[in-house]
Structure 1
Amino acid sequence: MKKLIFRLLRISGLPVLVREFIQKNKVTVLVFHDIDVETAEKTFSYLSRNYNFISLNRFLEACRKKDNHMLPPKAMVITFDDGHMRNYQLLPVFKKYKVPATIFLCSGIVNTLRHYWFRHDKEKIPDQALKKIPNKDRIAFLREVGFETEKEYDNPQALSKAQILDMMPFVDMQAHTVFHPILTQCDDEEAKNEIVQSKTELETDYGIKINGIAYPNGNYSEREIHIAKEAGFTCGLTVEAGFNSIESDLFRIKRLDTNDTGDFNELVVKSSGLLSLFKFPTLLK
């Protein structure tokens, strides 16, 4: 049924209308996580034909200068959250379609054998429920089911340092906290450590300037924005649906989530923001 709905929406022509009349003068930011090469090939082949890729930094520069001329019509920024190991396999696809992607890295997980808590054991770890409880309780529960935040396991889940360095000439690397907690469930000290330490570690380990943070799970508050600004970040990315412009709040950048779909119809509909317009018609303004 879900696939049928997306197919009907695509052939209705509504995604094209949104793309040509609404997205044309906006900046669309998409978020991916862990797509495979085959899905990436289909995804970026389609997107490259219908949108104009720009880097996150180009969008930020246009915002700083308040210069719309720096932005092409149907501008699109591609982002990936977490730093999953399979992201490395996408480098040839990024090169082929000239995708200036940004990957937001969990500094305490990349280049280790540590695991992402939400991917460790799906049968034992109810990740949606754990996102809604205080961080200390989440950590305590994970320990009870055998997961340790800093434990080194037998297999890596995240990018290695060699892979990150190999990608860096083509891919922008930014911060996604240290261990991917839900920041709004952290106490003040935990939130500050996760945000500040991720920036420090990535800059120290990779010799790059970190200016952006993607809030894990999209959860943030005024506290997280204040901490990020104090730490020297210049932008924060959410998973709030919608489009962006040079007037956008750079610490509340909106992103559309494709759910890493391999279904072409779903990709077309979700990348157009059509579903978001159904839910939030004020985005038309």
Structure 2
Amino acid sequence: MKKIVFALLRYSGLPVLFREVFQRNKVSILVFHDIDFPTAEKSFAYLSKHYNFISLEDLIAAIQNQDGSKLPKKAMVVTFDDGHVGNHELLPVFKKYKVPVTIFLCSGIIDTSKHYWFLEELNKETLRYLKQIPNEERVSFLRKKGFDSGKDYPDRQSLSATQIEEMATFVSMQSHTVSHPILSNCEDEESKWEITESKSALEKKLKKPINAIAYPNGSFTKREVHFTKKAGYKCGLTVKPGFNSIRSNPFELKRLDPNDSRNINELIVKSSGIQSIFSFF
């Protein structure tokens, strides 16, 4: 049913309207996670024809200087959350379409064989439940199910140091906390540590400044914004749908989520921001 809806929306002309009117003088930020090579090829082939890619750093500089004169029309920033191992194979696509990607890394998971807790075999209801309860309860629940956040598993889910180094000349690596908790469900000190420690650890590992953080699951409160500012970040990214401008709060930047869809119609519709006014997405 959704495939039909996305096809109808695509050919209704609404994505073109949104792109040429609402997105024309704004900056759209997309968030992906772990798309495969064919999906990336198809997605960026389309996006490169209809948007102008800029780096996250370009957007932050424009906001800090309150000067959007250097930002192109229909500007788009591309981000990936978590640091999945599969991101590495997309590097040729990024280069081909000249996409200045930002990947947000979990400092305690990358370059290890530790697993992401949200990739455990959990049904949607359980996953939704775990995202709503206090972090201590989430950890305890998963431990009883056999998941150990400190365990090295036989297979690797995250990028290795070598892969990160290979990508670093073309991809900006930034912070996604240490272990990907839902920050708003954490105690004060835990939230502060996740935000601060990931910046420190990544700067030590990558030997580059870490200026941006993407709040895991997009969940944050004023407390997380305070910790982020205090830690020395220049911006924080959410998953609130919508567009950005030089007047945007740099610590509450909005992103559009294509949901890693292989369906090109869904990508086209969601990258236009239509979902910000419809509830069935």
TM-score range, shorter chain: over 0.9
Taking the aligned partners of 1:203 and 1:68, their CA distance within structure 2 comes to 29
The residue aligned with 2:113 is: 113
- The alignment's TM-score, normalised by the length of structure 1, stands at 0.96
The residue aligned with 1:249 is: 249
Taking the aligned partners of 2:147 and 2:202, their CA distance within structure 1 comes to 24
- The alignment's TM-score, normalised by the length of structure 2, stands at 0.97
Aligned residue for 2:20, secondary structure, equals helix
Q: What is the Cα deviation at residue 65 of structure 1?
A: 1.1
The residue aligned with 1:203 is: 203
Give the direction of change, closer, same or farther, for the CA distance of 1:123–1:241 in structure 2 (3 Å limit). Answer: closer
The residue aligned with 1:154 is: 154
The residue aligned with 1:73 is: 73
Aligned residue for 1:202, secondary structure, equals helix
Q: What is the Cα deviation at residue 125 of structure 1?
A: 9.2
The residue aligned with 2:82 is: 82
The residue aligned with 2:48 is: 48
Aligned residue for 1:31, secondary structure, equals strand
Q: Any stretches of 5+ residues in structure 2 without a counterpart?
A: none
The alignment covers a number of residue pairs equal to 279
Q: What is the Cα deviation at residue 70 of structure 1?
A: 1.3
Identical aligned pairs, as a percentage? Answer: 58
Aligned 8 A contact 2:241 2:275 in 1: no
The residue aligned with 2:145 is: 145
Aligned residue for 2:138, secondary structure, equals helix
The residue aligned with 1:134 is: 134
Please show how residues 10-21 of structure 1 align to structure 2 within 5 Å.
Answer: 10-21=10-21
Aligned residue for 2:77, secondary structure, equals strand
Q: What is the Cα deviation at residue 66 of structure 1?
A: 1.1
Aligned residue for 2:194, secondary structure, equals helix
Give the direction of change, closer, same or farther, for the CA distance of 1:186–1:62 in structure 2 (3 Å limit). Answer: same
Aligned 8 A contact 1:6 1:269 in 2: yes
Q: Any stretches of 5+ residues in structure 1 without a counterpart?
A: 280-285
Give the direction of change, closer, same or farther, for the CA distance of 1:21–1:122 in structure 2 (3 Å limit). Answer: same
Give the direction of change, closer, same or farther, for the CA distance of 1:81–1:95 in structure 2 (3 Å limit). Answer: same
Whether 2:32 is the aligned partner of 1:38: answer no
Aligned 8 A contact 2:26 2:73 in 1: yes
Taking the aligned partners of 1:77 and 1:223, their CA distance within structure 2 comes to 26
Q: Which amino acid aligns with 1:26?
A: K
The residue aligned with 2:91 is: 91
